Amino acid sequence: MGKINQGILGGFSGKVGNVIGGNWKGIDYMRVKPASVANPQTEGQVDQRAKFSTVLRFLQPMTDFVRVGFKLYATKMTQFNSAMSFNLKNAITGTYPNFSIDFSKALVSRGALTGATGANAESNSSEEVEFTWSDNSSSGNANANDKAILLVYNADKNMAIYDTAGAIRSTGVQTLILPAKFSGEDVEAFIGFISDDGKEVSNSAYVGSVTVA
């Protein structure tokens, strides 16, 4: 039985026939109860679940980073779900069952702040990756005191190391310290920026694959 909470014009919670009502983040919603699926293993469903699992595996190790990087796109959904949605649509490559992430098309942060230019990442010492970038603080809406947000992802170990409040844009360089067990392995490097007041974020840029010294 459904219950009307705010009179006849208000939302309701519960079930009326095949309609389900509820409230999520202060938003009243209604949805039709899905019909039972005779075959939940159709080619399209299996394909989509495999893509979903691929993106989920990529993003889970960087959940806290994504909460910062996608906070401006969390309208009526969580930051993580927003990142899932974008990367499902844009960053999947391959065919079933061999899906993978196209890192050059993936985003780990998203926003309208001016992003990085001239970015590079390399590892010349064990247990670290050094990022460098150009000071483009006079371009677009960039500011010299925007903070770098840096991330490296080890696909083999499914681990991410990151900093969501790094060196300022005008500095042009920062080193991320990595676990010793990353030595000799490849990591994928991403860089973005967040404004000093935290209100603006840039799209991340994929810097490339780096072999850790």
> Please, are residues 133 and 191 in contact by the beta-carbon 8 Å criterion?
yes
CA–CA separation, 140 and 197 (whole Å): 17
In a domain? residue 134: yes
Which domain range does residue 87 map to? 43-211
- Confirm whether 62 is domain-assigned: yes
- Asked whether residue 15 is domain-assigned, the answer is no
Report the C-alpha gap between 110 and 70 in whole angstroms. Answer: 6
**Mutual angle of helices 79-90 and 43-59, in 10-degree steps:** 120
pTM to 2 decimals? 0.82
* C-alpha–C-alpha distance, residues 103 and 92, integer Å: 9
- Residue 171, domain member (yes or no): yes
In a domain, 136, yes or no: yes
Instruction: Give the bridge partners for 175, in sequence order.
Output: 130
Report the SS3 class of residue 76.
coil
Inter-residue contact 133 to 146 (CB < 8 Å): no
In a domain, 54, yes or no: yes
User: Does 22 map to a domain?
Assistant: no
Per-residue tens of pLDDT for the chain, all 213 residues? 454 455 444 555 676 666 777 777 667 666 666 655 555 678 889 999 999 999 999 999 999 999 999 999 998 999 999 999 999 999 999 999 999 999 999 999 999 999 999 999 999 999 999 999 999 999 999 999 999 999 999 999 999 999 999 999 999 999 999 999 999 999 999 999 999 999 999 999 999 999 999
**HSE toward the beta carbon, residue 4, CA cutoff 13 A:** 5
Structural domains in the chain (count): 1
State the CATH number of the domain containing residue 110: 2.60.40.10
Domain membership of residue 5 (yes or no) is: no
